Amino acid sequence: MKLLIKNGRIVDPASGRDERADLAIAAGRIVAIGKVSADFHASRTIDASGLVVAPGLVDLAARLREPGHEHEGMLESEMAAAVAGGVTSLVCPPDTDPVLDEPGLVQMLKFRARNLNLAHVYPLGALTRNLAGEVLTEMAELTEAGCVGFSQAEVGLKDTLVLHRALQYAATFGYTTWLRPNDAWLGNGVAAKGPLATRMGLSGVPTVAETIALATIFELVRDTGARVHLCRLSSAAGIELVRRAKADGLPITCDVSIHNLHLTDVDIGYFDAAMRVTPPLRQQRDRDALRAALADGTVDALVSDHTPVDEDAKTLPFAEAEPGATALELLLSMALKWGGEQGLALPATLARVTSAPVAVLGDALGSLAASAGRIVEGGIADLCVFDPESRWTVAPSALRSQGKHTPFGGYEVAGRVQCTLVSGAVAYERPTAAA
């Protein structure tokens, strides 16, 4: 199908393009930006007047819940949620059931996702077998199967020797290791350590759980030269350590979730289980530090940390409720909210969910590396067309994800996706009668 998107504001953070122009698509690729040839005959024309045409969003942390957790999310529902949120590429952690530690499991997941013709899925392979922290997986075989990196997900590595060997191996072959900095012994609480957790009688996760893990990771990176991506930072102290490590030239990148970017421990209120997320919500000074670090580039990318949870697992006392929140459909709006509050221009805001995540993934994207997260002639047409002025209220029951729990229920936000294109095909289009 040939598509023509007319009169849209084309914003491409990677190139600095920000102009009102037409965009022509054929055979899944962008064939013209601006002046479209008179002999281009579109099968369909999309009027983007008043809308922004941006690269499809790239989310570095989204659990699809398959295999093993289908009661919390099916691949069909979560991929539908992704494109409804303008997300055209996403990275999924390996903590499925069974764990993504065998090539066959990775190939099955990619095959299922590819057949849905929705977003591109990039799995992370398990760093150790069954995430047990004892025996390294066959990283080379998992990479051939389609893994873009290796992770322990939320399972901390207690044995530093195993982590050291993993980083040595990864460095040898140029793989990236994705680690959430959380000390395995100190990080087992349910809320951020502080006055509020103490008053509520909740077990606390101290800031040092993050900083001790970061210090260990940085020393091992210095020794091995391995590339490490730090997942979902949560503290001001952690941000300062990352800033110093980057200044020292260590090959590290990092991200923060929309929950930690916008919320604090005070939002837990009266034991609201919707606020039970990982890492836990910290104090306002931590949130402010995360927001500033994302703006100045210390933090590379913003992620949804999409983790759908079923009703039974959330309707429990706060300390017993399963951590997680539905977020794929909120990534764009929460990015725009942050960017507006920081006084950033639209291209700078969108960069944190498009070109910057692609830079984190690098060569692991393979043939898509040259065009993912950007709008370029000849590139794959992964696009998000949205109305930056359209305001809408987050209604959990209306979300397409199978999980309906989000800390942002009832929030009024701006930025509504009108159309999502994946490889030149319309993967989502907002119903005109929708509120």
Q: 120-123 and 87-92 as β-strands: parallel, antiparallel, unpaired?
A: parallel
Cβ atoms 329, 62 nearer than 8 A? no
Return d(Cα 392, Cα 390) in angstroms, integer.
7
Both structure tokens of 371: 């065009």
What residues are paired with 426 via a beta bridge?
421
What type of residue sits at position 404? K
CA-nearest of 1, 30, 4 to 380 is: 30
* Catalytic residue, candidates 305, 312, 363, 382: 305
Distance of CA 372 to the CA centre of its chain: 14
DSSP-based three-state secondary structure for 147: coil
Cβ atoms 198, 204 nearer than 8 A? yes
Catalytic status, residue 305: yes
Return d(Cα 319, Cα 405) in angstroms, integer.
16
Token pair 């993967």 is found at 427
Q: How many CB atoms lie within 10 A of CB 161?
A: 8
What residues are paired with 191 via a beta bridge?
204
C-alpha dihedral sign at 307, 352, 361, 136: negative
C-alpha dihedral sign at 374, 332, 384, 412: negative
What type of residue sits at position 357? P
- Positions marked catalytic: 305
